[in-house]
A = this chain, B = another copy of it.
């Protein structure tokens, strides 16, 4: 149980803590867009300032495109206890399409019990809950119950492309007894959740090039292979009629779901009709004949995210484009390997591209899928903390998304991470009107505080 001094402090400081979160959400730290490079740096510096204000040491480490923030408690504020690695990311998805937002994505607004801004739920609101938990201990007691290493990165939304090397290079500095990765969601409102499996990711650009210049489709249509037509055929050929990915060898390393795990998922409080209503569409995608949660969590996918080429403006333009490029990603499940899937994708495109065009694949990001054991002391500590803060038993789930650091912590640091988070399924992650419910923020702070106390006991 959280001490009364901590809960009283948190109850008293809510408005200020929310105002500070709003300040953090103002930074347009869009990691994928190069004109936001300075904004990402400013956001990281702001967070470093917050951590130094608490008495931690905090440093920005310049990295591939955006700095990694590492902070750690000193002996003065954390003289004993196990070391806990806390991970979050300060970068956000692009806010486009801008005109679909009710209020501007980087002008945060509080309404209907939530704060609306890009990054509110993914991941600034969640990582900030940890900071406010640290603050509560220091304000109420003058010290932390555990030693803390903070790892906030700025390239998660571009797939943490080089984080593997960073973690390997800084393994000594990041060494900890356990790790809390907070970049996840509740399974349902009122159901706090620990995520023990995440899908991996391979994100590519597939460029199909044809004529040397854009051509008039009347004059040359029927003579030239249209790169957009060819690209559509390539993408279409990547699935069979049953929704399975048709790249040769794609499923070779996929581990089938066990009956035990399937039974556990069947028992989850999942309302498929409510899910369909929230999507506005029947969830009939993916592989035919498989249960919905299995398709989302334990099966790989291949999705096109956008097509560039030709004319995308208003009205008609009769152009045969010189080239067309698709953004495509594949979500991977254990034990698929990104490098092997990427090679299969490249071979498929090279072999299937018709005469008259060329296909070229550029890999943007890769991450391995991950499963973590659910019987560790750290998981027990987090589960107890979530139960206390949210008055409900936590669910144990997988998630179809990718949080690359999770697998790196497991593989490179040799620590089993606990993946949790305080977002809700309808927070509009990666979409217009992203928001974070204030009640989840406040209870998330309490959960973080309780988790640190529990870790001190469990890992003693």
Interface residues of A in 225-259 (CB under 8 A from B): 225-226, 228-229, 231-233, 235-237, 239
Chain B residues, Cβ within 8 Å of A168: none
Which residue, of A199, A355, A429, has the highest number of chain B Cβ atoms within 10 A? A429
Nearest CB in chain B: distance from A32 CB, A: 3
A414 at interface, CB cutoff 8 A: no
Nearest CB in chain B: distance from A108 CB, A: 19
Known: A211-B280, A228-B307. A313 touches B216 (CB 8 A): no
Known: A280-B213, A306-B317, A317-B306. A229 touches B239 (CB 8 A): yes
Stretch at the interface among A68-76, A136-144, A296-304, A336-344: A296-304
Interface residues of A in 193-219 (CB under 8 A from B): 199, 201, 203, 210-219
Chain B residues, Cβ within 8 Å of A237: 236
Assembled-state Cα–Cα distance A449/B286 (Å): 66
Nearest CB in chain B: distance from A328 CB, A: 9
A16 at interface, CB cutoff 8 A: no
Nearest CB in chain B: distance from A120 CB, A: 14
In chain B, what residue has the closest Cβ to A235? B232
Chain B residues, Cβ within 8 Å of A231: 232
- The answer to whether B431 and A220 touch across the interface, beta carbons within 8 angstroms, is no
A182 at interface, CB cutoff 8 A: no
A49 at interface, CB cutoff 8 A: no
Nearest CB in chain B: distance from A232 CB, A: 4
- The answer to whether B94 and A313 touch across the interface, beta carbons within 8 angstroms, is yes
- The answer to whether B159 and A316 touch across the interface, beta carbons within 8 angstroms, is yes
Stretch at the interface among A56-64, A374-382, A383-391, A395-403: A395-403
Chain B residues, Cβ within 8 Å of A431: 213-216, 319
Assembled-state Cα–Cα distance A226/B279 (Å): 12
In chain B, what residue has the closest Cβ to A331? B221
Assembled-state Cα–Cα distance A29/B357 (Å): 33
A158 at interface, CB cutoff 8 A: yes
Kindly identify which residue among B93, B97, B223, B284 contacts A286, using a CB–CB cutoff of 8 Å.
Answer: B223
Known: A211-B279, A216-B429, A400-B218. A318 touches B304 (CB 8 A): no
Interface residues of A in 13-40 (CB under 8 A from B): 31-34
A50 at interface, CB cutoff 8 A: no
Kindly identify which residue among B235, B317, B402 contacts A430, using a CB–CB cutoff of 8 Å.
Answer: B317
- The answer to whether A286 and B222 touch across the interface, beta carbons within 8 angstroms, is yes
Nearest CB in chain B: distance from A195 CB, A: 11
Interface residues of A in 66-104 (CB under 8 A from B): 93-94, 96-97, 100
Nearest CB in chain B: distance from A265 CB, A: 14
- The answer to whether B299 and A305 touch across the interface, beta carbons within 8 angstroms, is no
A432 at interface, CB cutoff 8 A: yes
A310 at interface, CB cutoff 8 A: yes
- The answer to whether B331 and A319 touch across the interface, beta carbons within 8 angstroms, is no
Chain B residues, Cβ within 8 Å of A283: 220, 223-224, 356
**Would you give 9 A-B contacts (Cβ < 8 Å), ordered by A?**
A32-B316, A33-B315, A100-B214, A185-B219, A217-B430, A225-B285, A226-B285, A233-B236, A308-B312
17 additional contacts (CB under 8 A) given A33-B314, A226-B285, A305-B310: A159-B316, A185-B219, A217-B329, A218-B331, A218-B402, A220-B296, A221-B331, A222-B287, A223-B285, A223-B292, A226-B303, A232-B304, A305-B320, A305-B321, A306-B313, A306-B317, A307-B312
